Structure 1
Amino acid sequence: MSDPFDYLPDLAPLRPAAQAGDWPAVRAFFMGLDSAEKVSYASGLLSDIAGVEGFLERAVAELPGDPLPRTLLARRYISIGWDIRSGARAKHVSRDQFDRFHAWLRKAEQLLIEVCAEQPAYAPAWTARLITARGLELGQAEARRRYDRLSAHHPHHHRAQIQLLQQVCPKWSGSWEDAHGFARECASAAPDGSVAGALVAEAHIEHWLDLDSGADAAYMRGLPVRDDLRFAAQVSVLHRDHVPGWDTVGAHSTFAMAFSIGGHFADAAPHFAALGNRVNESPWCYLPDWRGQFTKFRKNALATL
């Protein structure tokens, strides 16, 4: 089960309301959420539902002072643009794709600038602006400025941390020193039991992806990486203070993959056990036939218990 709408029962009302174009029901769902983290999480899911921009544009017109419809519409514009760009590396993206991608991101950015000016503590809009900063190639300093504005009000906002981690990787003109440093910084600053530790695993997976064949496997098998992952897991989702939430499946999925591709199946086992038949598609989608790989790795890991 890899669809959050299936493995997170709290999300059940959102998708049918969005598909029906029922703005009052969508708004009621978001207004019922008890944290900015959940609003950011759900807005990302809503942004991937085709056609929602129609009723969101009407809601923006009807509620010009409300930050929610503008932020949701901006997230949808970002998704439309990113679908045009695709997930390919820049050298494989055409000039026409880039032009259309940037046009959608600029539409989103204009909405988000207004929201952030009016509501400087509104984390979902700042989180979305980290995505537009990356896509519009505004640079490391601007992305960090946006993150700092958000974290001044929400210091451990996981959805924003995920976005900034991508920004500081070399593929977006960052460095591995910055990527690993930021991930460890988030993990060490967060309360014990936070999902922030999964950023350490995500940074190692990104680093592994960037290495040549042979060197990648050796990197993940290395004891320094294994020990880094072990520590991050112990202070994160394996800590006794961890309270399962919407990001728990994603965190366990990331640790399970990171340990598995390094051959550390005994370390992966508790994460697979916690997942059961659930899995977050990211980062497993980096692997060819990722569902088959997940099943194989899970079998190998659970055999160590």
Structure 2
Amino acid sequence: MNSTSSGGATGSAGPTFDPYDNTPELISLRSAAQAGDWPAVRAFVTGLGSVAKVCSASSLLAGIAGVENLLERAAADLPGDPLPRTLLAHRYVVIGWDIRSSARAQYVSREQFEQFHAWLRRAEQLLIEVCAEHPAYAPAWTVRLITARGLQLGQAEARRRYDRLSAHHPHLYNAQTQLLQQVCPKWGGSWEAAHGFARECATAAPDGSVNGALVALAHIEHWLDLEGAERAAYLRGVPVRDDLRFAAQVSVLHPSHRPDWNTIGAHSAFAFAFSLGGHTADAAPHFAFLGDRAPEHPWDYLSDPRASYLKYRKSATEA
């Protein structure tokens, strides 16, 4: 089944950017977490059958206010189980990052940084224990890529953690998106490193994997870092367009692609990059799949994400 044949209908309402609208099967996980039902949470996550889905579930659980109370109890009751400690660490990371905010470092106060780092150190301690006991446990290593970035442990340490993970799970998209952020200039990397890593992931993964979307995400980050005329021109460039086309064809537009929980985000990245580059016909198949479903990122890089999505989807539909 080609990915473009199984998308959502294109309505007029536009995206809610709600992950539970995009992936309704996750609603029962949220309900269990909000009800404080650890056995139901554990049964759901352990029954997912893929590391990528566990990482996605961890991300969503980490965003639920107050879930740390449930996870702290579970971690205390099950000291040998890596799952509750990993989920708890991920929640601590989100608490810390909410305090820090998404602002550039120069706009974050000293007090914010202190609280941010304190929460990340709590998370890191849990993850160190999990990774020592379960060295192949990818969900913990994935969260450790976030703590490495937030604690400013450097490029070499982040890459070491990724290498430990990829030795067991070489094409884990959830982890690759985290390392991509690390190798961008804003976190001490370079554009050469960012684009190189994205292309490496896209070409190394099997055809039809979502990993090609890393190419789009790298170009979006590069675009965001520019200003004025340079920013306006960047995604319009023919080399960037061709790079995006190749990545889309080997990933979500490839005949062997089978939609998973990362597919909506991957299509969204391509739709965003093609649209802002003025390549409306190239954006069309991605919007055809998405319909009214889209993740908040990268549309949150625009001043009015929902209106922008609707505008660019309309242009692509009419192309």
Please give the TM-score of this superposition, normalised by the length of structure 1.
0.99
Tell me the equivalent position of 1:99. Answer: 114
CA distance in 1, matches of 2:238, 2:21: 36
Q: After superposition, where does 1:1-305 map in structure 2 within 5 Å? A: 1=15, 2-304=17-319
| Equivalent AA in structure 1 for residue 313 of structure 2 | R
3-state SS of paired residue (2:235):
helix
Give the residue type in structure 1 aligned to 2:258. Answer: V
State the shift of 1:11 in Å. Answer: 1.1
Q: C-alpha separation between the residues in 2 aligned to 1:13 and 1:242?
A: 27
- Contact map agreement 2:82 2:134 (CA 8 A) in 1: yes
CA drift at 1:10: 2.3
| Offset of residue 31 of structure 1 | 1.3
- What letter corresponds to residue 105 of structure 2 in structure 1? A
Deviation at 1:3, TM superposition (A): 1.5
CA displacement at 1:5 relative to structure 2: 1.3
Give, in whole Å, the separation in 2 of the partners of 1:11 and 1:186.
27
Whole-Å Cα distance in 2 between the matches of residues 41 and 166 of structure 1? 17
Counterpart CA distance in 2 for 1:284 and 1:7 is: 15
CA distance in 2, matches of 1:97, 1:257: 32
2:97–2:116 CA contact under 8 A, matched in 1 = yes
Alpha-carbon distance in structure 2 between the residues aligned to 1:6 and 1:46: 15
Separation (CA, whole Å) in 1 of partners of 2:220 and 2:194: 11
TM-aligned CA deviation for residue 12 of structure 1: 2.2
* Structure 1 residue 280: Cα displacement: 1.2
Cα distance, 1:9 vs. partner? 2.7
Name the aligned partner's letter for residue 168 of structure 2.
H
Deviations along 1:177-219, one digit per CA (max 9) or x if unpaired, are: 0000000000000000000000000000000000011111111
State the SS of the aligned residue for 2:195.
helix
Question: What is the root-mean-square deviation in Å for CA atoms of aligned residues?
Answer: 0.6
**CA offset at residue 286 of structure 1?**
0.6
1-structure distance, mates of 2:27, 2:220: 31
Return the letter of the residue paired with 1:189.
Answer: A
Q: CA deviation at 1:24?
A: 1.1
Q: In the alignment, is the contact (CA less than 8 A) between 2:166 and 2:172 conserved in 1?
A: yes
Correspondence for 2:11: none
Conservation of the 8 A alpha-carbon contact between 2:96 and 2:115:
yes
Distance 2:92 2:269 in 1: 27
- SS of residue paired to 1:288: coil
Q: What is the number of equivalent residue pairs in this alignment? A: 304
**Cα distance in 2 for residues equivalent to 1:210 and 1:31:** 39
Runs of 4+ in 1 over 2 A off after TM superposition: none
Q: Which has the higher contact order (CA 8 A, sep 6+)?
A: 2
Structure 2 Cα separation of the partners of residues 56 and 218 of structure 1: 47
Asked whether the 8 Å contact 2:21–2:293 carries over to 1, the reply is no
In structure 1, C-alpha distance between the alignment counterparts of 2:164 and 2:263, rounded to whole Å: 26
What is the letter of the counterpart of residue 117 of structure 1? A
Tell me the distance in 2 between the aligned counterparts of 1:149 and 1:109: 16
Contact 2:267 2:287 in 1 (8 A): yes
